[in-house]
Structure 1
């Protein structure tokens, strides 16, 4: 038995030939990955099997498929060969179907740090192995840029969902990205997922993606506002958006970096993508914070509260209380109006409250899960309406600026902005938030 690595695939690529291996040889996961990237076909050499006496009788049809037995050399079929098949559903996507000798995960020692793990078929008892599809269809690849706490939690939620073929963490500290990817891989049996996880140092190494979550940037420190980060993080987000667009021209960008609204608009401009494929995360996070805080003082659960957090991710956050409900009833029927307004104020300052308590760094649990929530809603193509930073199209009397609005999400991003009946003061506050975001964008343009 021979173990074939990536170097053998690269040698075959340079020679313009297929890689021929024996039926009992092992192909490492890295070699499989390089074969997909270089489009090198892998074939199995046919070796005469040992002749044995065939079984005397065949099982009845009710007993299921006949067991595999050895036959004479003259009658035994050739072992199946692995094939790289061009996927018709999407360009640049390849499907690797391993042959029967590869069923069963190879030794853990064969994996490089952060390498993709074997697909579900390698550990599931019975049945032929299923091909692992990377980068094609609605369950392809998600790239999370930034392996800090927010990126780590987003990746954890995406992997646990078992929705995608692969989740890739990207960080300038490649060792951190690879280490977190390997750590997540170790939880596969605990959480019951088959999603492959990798950690790399660049978006180029990650490969084409269906969704890219941008969390990279400087975090807030105590005493800092989100706006204090605008110039520093604009340089980071702009560069990443351009590079992601080059590698993944059909992806949807989900921006998490602060200041959220301004960075989302900056990513849209830098990427050159249509606005429907660039969306900011904050509304889901701010709504979740409001729901949780409202439930703290009541005899109900947070997920019984329905509300919208619109406007800006910060001081100009707008939570229309006319739309807030508990199991369909007005929120103010269960909580005094003064207490509700106190909850709104606390939700606006929740990010700073967490920063102050942590003393170093910023919130990451809820932000990471919120970003994953948006990606999953799009991948499932459920048409769900979520509050998100989107480019205003004239609805609510706001146009040409990214601001938090109710948006319907589909597989390829935003499919529309949903109008909600707001009270005059709520609508005025929403428009004021959009105006304030414009002012900060103008300051960014001047600083640039």
Structure 2
């Protein structure tokens, strides 16, 4: 124990992430912060009162933060900081539509994280994901391995769920993978997908696999269109919490995440969705996985699309 994790932003995503992290019972403290006065403190009180029922000892602390860094002392000595702050999408919005407004928020949060939790591993979940991860690294000045983004875990989970439903099999029997960006240049990897070891291509016709790939790529927008008042948070928070747990436990778990790529796949100098080994220092190493020529080409295209957008964020 003795580990401390902070979740910045107490909206649906942040509060659900804090709940999952507390219920793991692997942290001594979960800190939840927000700019809405009293909201994180109220949620923390509520979560702490669930401890006798759910049987976990992790203490949840709420802290209201101000525009000039007020309240951020609560995050001191955090081992992991999950940044969920920012506006969610509304129906008809792309993730990129959030770039300007969320960049200001993420930059301010990242600067305070660097000041108050200089040894933390930072997990970014604010959209547009790949760009906000790059911005958080620039704003904190942290080594690239200590700043990573949550996307691939979520996109892969969506893909697996859709495959399980299409074949009426348990989700635990399905293995899928998505790489690339968290958006239009997402690269689901059908060659790495299987059900109980049988390649997906032997179980579903190519056209149906393509349909599932498209549905995965649009997975967030599908939820947004149905909710009308916000975006997904149950699956995204599960993904972010699992990443934070892997850091806290120094587990070496291999997960698809948004990580700094420096030579792998012949791609350098960009944050991109890849498989990586996760531990106490964040990304231990990027895993270069076998891809078909067309999947590799798609990943290179994704890298260049993300690189173009990440070049813009230094001015935001």
* Structure of greater Rg: 1
CA distance in 2, matches of 1:206, 1:227: 29
Q: Is 1:217 paired with 2:86?
A: yes
Alignment of 1:189-208 (within 5 A): 189-202=52-65, 203-208=72-77
Shift of 1:326: 1.1
Question: What residue number does 1:140 align with?
Answer: 3
Contact persistence 1:392–1:400 (CA under 8 A):
yes
Which 5+ residue runs of structure 1 have no aligned equivalent?
1-137
Contact persistence 1:220–1:361 (CA under 8 A):
yes
> Counterpart of 2:167 in 1: which secondary structure?
coil
Shift of 1:143: 0.4
Q: Is 1:161 paired with 2:24?
A: yes
Alignment of 1:183-194 (within 5 A): 183-194=46-57
Shift of 1:174: 3.1
Contact persistence 2:135–2:314 (CA under 8 A):
no
Q: Is 1:292 paired with 2:155?
A: no
Question: What residue number does 1:149 align with?
Answer: 12
Question: What residue number does 1:427 align with?
Answer: 296
CA distance in 2, matches of 1:345, 1:399: 27
CA distance in 1, matches of 2:158, 2:209: 13
Q: Is 1:175 paired with 2:23?
A: no
CA distance in 2, matches of 1:317, 1:342: 14
User: Judging changes above 3 Å, is the alpha-carbon distance between structure 1 residues 188 and 348 closer, same or farther for their aligned structure 2 residues?
Assistant: same
Shift of 1:301: 1.3
CA distance in 1, matches of 2:15, 2:280: 23
CA distance in 2, matches of 1:306, 1:167: 31
Question: What residue number does 1:390 align with?
Answer: 259
Contact persistence 1:139–1:379 (CA under 8 A):
no
Contact persistence 2:80–2:247 (CA under 8 A):
no
CA distance in 1, matches of 2:74, 2:242: 25
Among 126, 129, 136, the alignment partner of 1:260 is: 129
Which 5+ residue runs of structure 2 have no aligned equivalent?
66-71
CA distance in 1, matches of 2:246, 2:136: 21
Q: Is 1:351 paired with 2:220?
A: yes
> Counterpart of 2:236 in 1: which secondary structure?
helix
* Structure with more contact order per residue of length (Cα contacts < 8 Å, sep ≥ 6): 2
Shift of 1:335: 2.1
> Counterpart of 2:5 in 1: which secondary structure?
strand
Q: Is 1:380 paired with 2:246?
A: no
Contact persistence 1:213–1:253 (CA under 8 A):
yes
Shift of 1:316: 0.6
Question: What residue number does 2:183 align with?
Answer: 314
Question: What residue number does 1:42 align with?
Answer: none
Ranges of 4+ aligned residues in structure 1 off by more than 4 Å: none
How many residues are matched?
A: 310
Contact persistence 2:31–2:74 (CA under 8 A):
no
Alignment of 1:11-30 (within 5 A): none
Shift of 1:411: 1.5
Shift of 1:139: 4.5
Contact persistence 1:280–1:388 (CA under 8 A):
yes
> Counterpart of 2:310 in 1: which secondary structure?
helix
Shift of 1:288: 0.5
Shift of 1:310: 0.5
CA distance in 2, matches of 1:187, 1:392: 41
* Structure with the larger helix share: 2
Question: What residue number does 2:273 align with?
Answer: 404
Question: What residue number does 2:69 align with?
Answer: none
Shift of 1:307: 1.7
Among 106, 109, 131, the alignment partner of 1:240 is: 109
TM-score (normalised: structure 2) = 0.96
CA distance in 2, matches of 1:292, 1:248: 36
Contact persistence 1:174–1:199 (CA under 8 A):
no
